[in-house]
Amino acid sequence: MNRHLALRSGNPALNKNTFAQLAQTSESTMTIGGTVNKTFLSLLLLLATAIYTWNLPVGDPRVSGFMLMGFIGGFIVALITVFKKHLAPYTVPGYALLEGLALGGLSKFFESTYPGIVQQAVFLTFGTLGALLLAYRSGLIKATENFKLGVVAATGGIAFIYLISFILGFFGIHMSVIHGNS
């Protein structure tokens, strides 16, 4: 692994000692296929609870309860996973279920306020995830260190432009390159 990326991460759960204290719990080797399969299973669990919450009637008090339970429960499960990494095989499915509750409720709220926005966001998000899972699973793309650096740089550049656009919006300045149609 190149040293320029070996320890670089903005994620507080990942640092140079993240994997140093882990005991080997299995003789099997981690594979792209296994990772893709587990990611897909987590996605199915998330979708199951998100669809359930989404299908509750508008104004149903259970929606806010499920949403709150999902956000708080998901946060707690995430903290447990960060500090007790050996529990991850057990906490990830619970996290996916809880986040589904939160996202389903939040999506229902935004859809009732801004009709059509959720469908677009869901299709784009899960379409991108599905395409990437398929590309990794098929071996179409390989995550080399330079590829990772390029993806992080491109994503960071886009995020930076949107952050600047957001801040300038407070002063009435709008970036037509992002929000314009010509």
What are the tens digits of pLDDT across the range 84-96? 988 999 999 999 9
Asked whether the beta carbons of 32 and 84 are under 8 A apart, the reply is: no
Closest CA to 1 of 22, 23, 16: 16
More confident residue, 19 or 145: 145
> Are 92 and 148 in a shared domain?
no
The most confident of the ranges 20-34, 52-66, 129-143 is 52-66
- Residues 74, 118, single domain; the answer is yes
Residues 134 and 152 in one domain: no
Which of left, alpha, beta for 2 (phi over 0: left; psi -120 to 50: alpha)?
beta
Cα–Cα distance, 21 to 92 (Å, whole number): 20
Could you tell me if residue 179 is inside a domain? yes
**In a domain? residue 88:** yes
Are both 179 and 101 inside the same structural domain? no
Residue 4 is assigned to a structural domain of this protein: no
Q: How confident is the model at residue 176 (pLDDT cuts 50, 70, 90)?
A: confident
Owner of token pair 């149609």:
181
User: Would you say residue 7 lies in a domain?
Assistant: no
Alpha-carbon distance 1 to 148, whole Å? Answer: 12
Query: How far is CA 179 from each of CA 93, 117, 124, 160, 174, rounded to the nearest angstrom?
Result: 38, 16, 18, 15, 7
Instruction: Kindly state whether residues 46 and 107 are assigned to the same domain.
Output: yes
Do residue 135 and residue 154 come from a single domain?
no
Asked whether residue 73 falls in the same domain as residue 106, the answer is yes
Please tell me the total count of domains within the chain. 2
Same domain, 77 and 130: yes
| Cα–Cα distance, 140 to 63 (Å, whole number) | 41
Interaxial angle between packed helices 61-83 and 88-113, expressed in degrees from 0 to 180 and rounded to the nearest 10: 150
How big is the CA angle at 37 (ends 35 and 40), to the nearest 5 degrees? 110
118 in the same domain as 60: yes
- 11, 32, 129 from 88: Cα distances, Å: 17, 18, 21
Residue 11: helix, strand or coil by DSSP? coil
* Domain span holding position 110: 32-142
pLDDT at 7 over 60: no
Q: How far is it, in rounded angstroms, from Cα 159 to Cα 157? A: 5
pTM over 0.75: no
Do 173 and 132 have their domain in common? no
- In the block, which residue shows the tokens 């719990």? 25
6: in domain: no
59 and 100 inside one domain: yes
Q: Are residues 137 and 154 in the same domain?
A: no
Residue 34, pLDDT above cutoff 50: yes
